[in-house]
Amino acid sequence: MIHNPLLPLSDSDLERIHQTSLKLLARVGVDFPLPAALDLFKKHGFSTDGSRVTFSEQQVNDALATTPSHFVLQARNPDRHVSMGDGRTAFVPGYGAPFLIDLQQGRRPATLEDYHNLASLAHELPTMDISGHLLVEPGDVPAETAHLHMLLANIEHSDKVFMGSSEGEHGARHTMEMAHILFGDAMFESPVTLGLVNSLSPLGYAPAMLEAIMEYARWRQVIIISPGPTSGSTGPISAAGDLALSLAEGLAAIVLAQLVQPGAAVIYGNSGVHMDMRTGGLAISSPEAVAKIRARMQLARHFGLPARGGGALTDANTVDAQAGFESMLNLFVTVEAGADLSLHAGGILSSFLAFSYEKFVLDDELCSLVRRSQRPLIVDDDTLAYDVIERVGPGNDFLSDDHTLKRCRSEYWLPELSDRNGLSAWVAGDTADIVSKARQRWQHLLAAHEDPPLHPTIRRQLHDYVARNT
């Protein structure tokens, strides 16, 4: 049998991974250390032993039957709605980095001012479809209320879909109540925000994550269910075992969401990471990781679930060649494999530990390049250009032909930052290096940024809400 690297799992492979995940759910179970979740499982006839819940195949199938395969996320600007489940990848900035890599200062803690800057950039960068939530962790505001400031920043600085807080019941509830101020009851007709939930591998969830699942489901908002095994430490080192464990954890969370609210929208998948056995550190960019991205996309399609893939992920500590080739590998495979969501699509360095302004704008260009590479080739009378070729004939050129002039600005992708000025210009010193150009671009975008219109009453209500809860 010829191996197809674009589809690493055969039908029998998919079924064996599926059956192994079901065996784990039925015989081992998953820890749900939250009384409200356990009460819900018991109410619906699930077997429990302490905080451990086991699942039958029928119970899993019943939950999958009510999980939507397609939905639309509303933005307050209707031109920025985002569709999930139609094969187009939505790009979302990096998530969760505690540090910034600054060209002048090196590594430094992120601040709330940085967060406001990055939220504004997420709005300005044309290929970012969704404004993130935990773009960075601002260290100069209390951790227990930082999410409120971050939510307000995303709402004020951008009219794109925004991610919400999944920091337990309070973070999720604050997200829902602020979204309701912004959208009113329209948020119940079609979701307006999405929250990231990670498992506590192997085979568990932290109470705060369970609270977030239940709160998002009650309010009919989207849950990104991201199983979190690190291969070789909190998950099997073998890819198939890692996929089976991840699937079991993901299916368990999907069941909980559907028990809370049948029809609750979820996105399944993660980027796939492993422990570097030489250093003991996290490795987020590798050939094995992208193979697992493709495999997870196959599994998601097998179950009819919208899927999350990788992003512009790198283990590099600065914006260098390693950052470029690792980010391109992860991003290209994610889009090519048909992921609906690419989290960490901009800004990430140092295995999730750091964010870079320069890499953010470079990654946006990378997203644009990759997205354009997936554009279908159109074959019709106009694009075949027989009449044009006949008219130009042998030995002549097409440069001044009307067919060329009409298409010269749209037929090929045009970069903002990549250098195409030629060797002579570079030798003459007329071309800045790409990182310097990226720095100039983000500074220009920030200087030119204007917050999109927001009704004064809604703005006041949002500020009052944050003030009451901080």
DSSP 20-34: HHHHIIIII-EE---
pLDDT of the residue at 263: 98
Give the residue ranges of DSSP H helices in 67-145. Answer: 112-124
Specify the amino acid at residue 327: S
Contact predicate 61/252, CB 8 Å: no
pLDDT of the residue at 388: 97
Q: What is the DSSP letter of 203?
A: S
Mean pLDDT by 10 residues, the chain (470 residues): 83 97 98 98 98 98 98 98 95 96 88 97 98 94 96 98 97 98 98 97 98 98 95 96 98 98 96 90 93 96 96 96 97 96 98 97 98 96 97 95 95 94 88 92 98 98 97
How would you classify residue 90: left for phi > 0, otherwise alpha for psi between -120 and 50, otherwise beta?
beta
> H-helix or E-strand containing 94?
none
> H-helix or E-strand containing 92?
none
Nearest to 30 by CA among 260, 270, 256: 256
Q: What domains does the chain contain, in order, with CATH numbers?
A: 71-373 (3.20.20.480)
Give the residue ranges of DSSP H helices in 3-92. Answer: 11-23, 35-43, 57-65
Contacts of 184 (CB under 8 A, 6+ apart): none
Residue 229: phi and psi, rounded to 5, are: -65, 140
Handedness of CA 226, 231, 233, 238 (dihedral sign): positive
pLDDT of the residue at 1: 60
Rounded to the nearest 5 degrees, what angle is found at the Cα of 445, between the Cα atoms of 442 and 449? 140
pLDDT of the residue at 6: 85
How would you classify residue 422: left for phi > 0, otherwise alpha for psi between -120 and 50, otherwise beta?
left
Q: Rounded to the nearest 10 degrees, what angle do helices 239-260 and 35-43 cross at?
A: 80
Residue 22 C-alpha from the chain's centroid:
27
What pTM was estimated for this model as a whole? 0.96
